[in-house]
A and B are shown apart, each in its own frame.
Chain A
C-alpha cells in the first residue's frame, strides 16, 4: 500500500548559497540562519500569485521506498500536462535560506579609543533524502470518478481526477493502491462539493532510474483560479500532533496574509547573549515554540517580508531572475522588452534591473483542532520590510584605561542581564540555565567585579572640608 501523502515537504539540503554578505551591512553582520531543517515534519510551498494566476511549487521530503510514494492534493481546476513542471530542489532551498530568520552581531568599540573591529560569518549546510514511484490506471467511470488528465512529467505519473462523490473516489483510490484513512472520506466529499479536482502523483520508477539521484524533485503547477488558498485539511486527518508548514509567497504588490487566521509577526530585533551564536538553531526552535504556545500551540507567523531586490543582512543572495522565472514569477518581463538596462552610475557592482517581486515567508504551525479550515490568503499592498533578526552585541574586551571604562563595564553588565531576561522570556528557558550556558561557553560573560568607587552623593561635594 502506498503511503498517502498530501502536501509535499522537503528536508532537502542547503548548499552554502550565500555569497559573502557585505561586511558593512547596515543591519549587523550576518552570523547564522534558522532554516526549515530545524523543524521536523515540515512542508515547504512556494506560491507565486498575481490576479487569479497562481504557480505553486511543492517541495518533497519523502524518504523511503519510491514504490510507496503517492500524493493527493486538491486543486481548484483541471490541470493539463503543460501546466506541470518539475522544478529544481535547490530553488526552494535558496528561497528558504534567503528568507530565514537570521542572527547578526555587532562589536562594541573600545570606549577609550574609537576603534573599529571587523567581522566573520558562518554558513550552514545540510543533507538530502531519497524518494519513490509507480502508476496505473483503472476503470473509474462506474465509481463516478473521471480521469480528467493523465500524463507523466519527469519522474512523476500524474492523474487529475474529478469525482461525483467521496465514496466512489475513496474506493477508486483504494483499488488503485492508495491507502486512504477512513476519516479522510468526509474531507474528500467536502472538496468534491466545492468543485475541487484531485492532483494524484506517483513516481514512475523507470523515469526515476533514468534521472538518477536520491530525491524527488519538487512539482510546480500553474493554474488560474480566484481561490488563493492551500489545502491543509487532508494532511491533518491522520497527523499526530502539530505540523509545520512554510509558505513562501511571491507577489507584485506586497505582503501576503491569511484571511481566516490571524497572521502575526515573529518577535524580532532582540538582543541575546553571545553563546546563542553556537545555539541559534535551538534558540529559534524554542522561541518559535514559545510564541506558538502563547497562542495555544499554533499560529501563522510572518518570519520575513521583503523586496526581492535586496536584503540586509543577507542570509543568502536574493533570487536571480532566472530562479524567479523557474519558480513561476510570470510577470518579470512585463513591459520592459525594449528598454535598455539602466545602469546607475556609482553602483558597487552592476545591478540587474530591479525586479517587481515581494516575498513573504509564513511559518504555520497547525493541527486539526486549531486549523479546521484550509489556509486562505490575501495579497495586501503592504511593502514594509520585515525580517526575523536576532542580535549579538560583543562587549569590548581589550585593554581599557580611562575613566569611562568603569561606566562602560557597568553598562555592559546591565545589558547582559537584560539579554538574559529577553532570552528567558522568548524561549521559556530558565535564567539559571542561561547563566550556566554563558559560563560554559566562556563567551560573553559578565565583567568581573571592578573596583567600585565609594558611593558619592551630590552633597558630599558641597563641603569637602567636613569630616566624612
Chain B
C-alpha cells in the first residue's frame, strides 16, 4: 500500500472490517428501516421503546454472558432488538423490555446440542403477542411505498454476499410466492391479489433478516432449503386456513424444533460468526467452520 497515507489505510481497514461481518450490514439496514419508518412513514414507534428494547436485549446478553463466562458481544442482541422493534407493536414500554429479555433469555436456556433452538427475536415476538393483549404483530403497518426499498436492501445483502444464509431467504420467498400464486390461480383470482400479498413489509423483513439467522437455521444447504420450504408451507396454511395474518412468523417458532432433526439428516459444519482482527497489516477475516459433532 505504498503511497497511500497511513490514515487512509486505516480507513479502508475499518470499512472492510465493518462489512466483514454480515451482522454489521443487518444492523445498518435495520436501523435505517427504523429511522425511515419513524420519520418518513409515521410508524407509531416512540423512540423510547426502541431504546428500552435495545437496552433490555443488551442487558440480558451481558448478564447471561457473564454468568456463563463468555465474552460479551453486542451485535447479535442488537439485531434481535431491531427486529423486535420493527415487528412488535405495543403501547407499553414494559412489554418492549419483556420482549427483549425473553428473546435473549431463550438463547441461553432453550438449547440443543450446543445450538439455541429459537430465533431470539421470533421467540420474543410470538410469546409476547400470545400472552398479552397489549402486544401484537402488525403485518399491515408497512404500506407499499417502503416495500421496494426493503426488497432492494434485502437483495443488496444477498448480492454483496453479506447475507450468509441467502439460500433460506430466497427459498422462503420463492416457495411462499409460489403458494400465493397457486392459490390465486386455483381460486380464479386476478394475479394482482398475490402480488399485493407479497408486498408485505413484515414478510420481507422476516425473509431477509429473521429466518436467515445462521445460528438457528440448519447447517447444510439442502437442509436449509427444505426448512425454508416447510416454514413457507406452514406459514401459508396458518394464514389462509386459520386466518392469522402473522402466519409466517408463527410458522418459524413452530418449526424451530425441527432444525436439530434436519441437522441430523443433513450434517454439516456449524456456522460461526467471522472472526477478524484489526492489525497494522489490515484485516484478517475468515469464516471458521467447525466440524459437526
A residues at B contact (CB < 8 Å): 166, 186, 189-190, 193-194, 226-229, 253-254, 257-265, 295, 369, 372-373, 376, 378, 380-384
B residues at A contact (CB < 8 Å): 42, 44, 89-91, 132-136, 138-144, 186-190, 192-193, 196-197, 200, 242-243, 245
Cβ–Cβ contact B243 & A226, under 8 A: yes
Cβ–Cβ contact A380 & B196, under 8 A: no
Chain A neighbourhood of B144, CB < 8 A: 262
Report the separation of the CA atoms of residues A254 and B135 in the bound assembly, to the nearest whole angstrom. Answer: 11
Report the separation of the CA atoms of residues A3 and B186 in the bound assembly, to the nearest whole angstrom. Answer: 30
Report the separation of the CA atoms of residues A261 and B135 in the bound assembly, to the nearest whole angstrom. Answer: 19
Contacting B89 at CB < 8 Å: which of A193, A228, A380?
A380
Known: A227-B243, A372-B193, A372-B196. A378 touches B136 (CB 8 A): yes
Cβ–Cβ contact A380 & B193, under 8 A: no
Shortest B16–chain A CB gap in Å is 39
Cβ–Cβ contact B189 & A190, under 8 A: yes
Report the separation of the CA atoms of residues A226 and B242 in the bound assembly, to the nearest whole angstrom. Answer: 7
Cβ–Cβ contact B138 & A257, under 8 A: yes
Known: A262-B140, A262-B143, A264-B42. A381 touches B242 (CB 8 A): no
Told that A190-B188, A376-B245, A381-B135 touch, could you supply 9 new A-B pairs with CB distance under 8 A?
A166-B188, A226-B243, A229-B243, A259-B140, A260-B196, A260-B200, A260-B245, A372-B192, A373-B193
Report the separation of the CA atoms of residues A369 and B144 in the bound assembly, to the nearest whole angstrom. Answer: 13
Known: A259-B140, A376-B245. A253 touches B133 (CB 8 A): yes
Chain A neighbourhood of B134, CB < 8 A: 381-382
Known: A258-B140, A373-B193. A382 touches B245 (CB 8 A): no
Report the separation of the CA atoms of residues A254 and B136 in the bound assembly, to the nearest whole angstrom. Answer: 11
Shortest B229–chain A CB gap in Å is 24
Chain B neighbourhood of A190, CB < 8 A: 187-189
Cβ–Cβ contact A382 & B193, under 8 A: no
Write 28 A-B pairs (CB below 8 A) sorted by A numbering: A186-B189, A189-B187, A189-B188, A190-B189, A193-B186, A226-B242, A227-B243, A228-B243, A253-B133, A254-B133, A257-B138, A257-B141, A258-B140, A260-B140, A260-B196, A260-B245, A369-B192, A372-B190, A373-B196, A376-B245, A378-B136, A378-B138, A378-B140, A378-B245, A380-B89, A381-B91, A382-B136, A384-B91
Cβ–Cβ contact B132 & A381, under 8 A: yes
Shortest A253–chain B CB gap in Å is 5
Cβ–Cβ contact A381 & B90, under 8 A: yes
Chain A neighbourhood of B141, CB < 8 A: 257, 262-263
Chain A neighbourhood of B186, CB < 8 A: 193
Interface majority SS on A: helix, strand, loop or mixed?
loop
Report the separation of the CA atoms of residues A189 and B184 in the bound assembly, to the nearest whole angstrom. Answer: 11
Q: Closest chain B residue to A253 by CB distance? A: B133
Most buried by B among A258, A373, A383, A384: A373
Cβ–Cβ contact A381 & B136, under 8 A: yes
Cβ–Cβ contact B242 & A383, under 8 A: no
Chain A neighbourhood of B133, CB < 8 A: 253-254, 381
Chain A neighbourhood of B138, CB < 8 A: 257, 259, 378, 380
Report the separation of the CA atoms of residues A30 and B205 in the bound assembly, to the nearest whole angstrom. Answer: 44
Cβ–Cβ contact B188 & A186, under 8 A: yes
What are the nearest 9 A-B pairs in CB distance? A259-B245, A381-B133, A262-B143, A381-B134, A372-B192, A190-B187, A226-B243, A380-B136, A259-B140
Shortest A184–chain B CB gap in Å is 12
Q: Closest chain A residue to B135 by CB distance? A: A381
Report the separation of the CA atoms of residues A83 and B135 in the bound assembly, to the nearest whole angstrom. Answer: 33
Chain B neighbourhood of A193, CB < 8 A: 186-188
Chain A neighbourhood of B140, CB < 8 A: 257-263, 378
Shortest A271–chain B CB gap in Å is 19
Chain A neighbourhood of B135, CB < 8 A: 381
Most buried by A among B140, B196, B197: B140
Q: Closest chain A residue to B243 by CB distance? A: A226
Chain B neighbourhood of A372, CB < 8 A: 189-190, 192-193, 196
Chain A neighbourhood of B197, CB < 8 A: 260, 373
Contacting A259 at CB < 8 Å: which of B42, B139, B143, B187?
B139
Chain B neighbourhood of A229, CB < 8 A: 243
Q: Closest chain B residue to A262 by CB distance? A: B143
Report the separation of the CA atoms of residues A228 and B245 in the bound assembly, to the nearest whole angstrom. Answer: 11
Report the separation of the CA atoms of residues A2 and B91 in the bound assembly, to the nearest whole angstrom. Answer: 49
Q: Closest chain B residue to A386 by CB distance? A: B44
Shortest A225–chain B CB gap in Å is 8
Chain A neighbourhood of B143, CB < 8 A: 262, 264, 295
